[in-house]
Amino acid sequence: MRKIIIAGNWKMNKTQIEAIEFVNQLKRAIADIQEVDIVVCPPFTALADVKDVLLESNIGLGAQNLFWEDSGAYTGEVSAPMLKSLDVQYVIIGHSERRQYFQETDATVNKRLKSALKHGLIPIVCIGETLAEREAGKTFVVIKTQCLGGLQGISSEEMKKIILAYEPVWAIGTGKTATPQQAQEVHAFIRRQLQEMFDEETAAEVRIQYGGSVKPDNTNDLMSQPDIDGALVGGASLKADSFVDIIKNSCGVKT
């Protein structure tokens, strides 16, 4: 059975002090939860301090992006070996905000993905359609294109290490959540796509998170869907109370 994974994407929020305070609070509130995987993705500037607070806890550490070269003249970028040196385990790749504001494409997603895998980071690869694409009936074409481009040249063994996050762009930070049925429909499509690109065993193993205005009160319905294996949470991951409730509401859903 696929273990649910709840990850908090803090985006460009929280100073060092705020980050430390937050993870201390989170750690205390969910200390005995083993049933779901829990991850926080602070900004680069807080990774080192958050790492220290999370030592020997049940909370994993993730980054929000990485560059594909290991080192060199790439001002402002951060590489996989740098993240590994801070004991970062996960890295978000291809978030829609990176695609929208920083010209991220499926080709650059693919390069970042290969670097993450090469260095033993667990990638969380984001895919999802815009509102215009959904309204034009192009959701499945967009998802298929993103899977084919972003996952190009990846082996089945590598695919099993990757987490996908289906994040309809129209639901991110808007308060509009996809209904559990809308999300499940796309998650099932993604799994069929993985079956075509890889094989049945791989498709059955890959965890696919849903992201887009996940809150404590919609968590249970979303996580109950057969092909939804967790959540990538933005806004509601910034407050300890709501993130803790999302985590708690994900427990016991699949058993």
Chain residues in the site for ligand PEP (CB under 6 A): 9, 167, 172-173, 211-214, 232-236
Rounded Cα–Cα distance for residues 24 and 10 (Å): 15
- Going by the DSSP 8-state scheme, the letter that residue 171 receives in this structure is G
Nearer to ligand PEP, 193 or 219 (CB): 219
Cβ of residue 171: shortest distance to ligand PEP, in angstroms?
A: 6
Contact 19, 46 (CB under 8 A): yes
Nearest residue by C-beta to ligand PEP?
234
Rounded Cα–Cα distance for residues 9 and 214 (Å): 12
Torsions phi, psi of 229, nearest 5?
Answer: -115, 25
Cβ of residue 234: shortest distance to ligand PEP, in angstroms?
A: 2
Choose among 133, 129, 127: nearest CA to 147.
Answer: 127
Nearer to ligand PEP, 9 or 184 (CB): 9
- Going by the DSSP 8-state scheme, the letter that residue 61 receives in this structure is E
Residue that is written with structure tokens 């201390």 in the block: 24
Cβ of residue 173: shortest distance to ligand PEP, in angstroms?
A: 4
Rounded Cα–Cα distance for residues 179 and 245 (Å): 19
Catalytic residues: 95, 167
Tokens of 115: 């670097």
Cβ of residue 199: shortest distance to ligand PEP, in angstroms?
A: 29
Rounded Cα–Cα distance for residues 250 and 224 (Å): 9
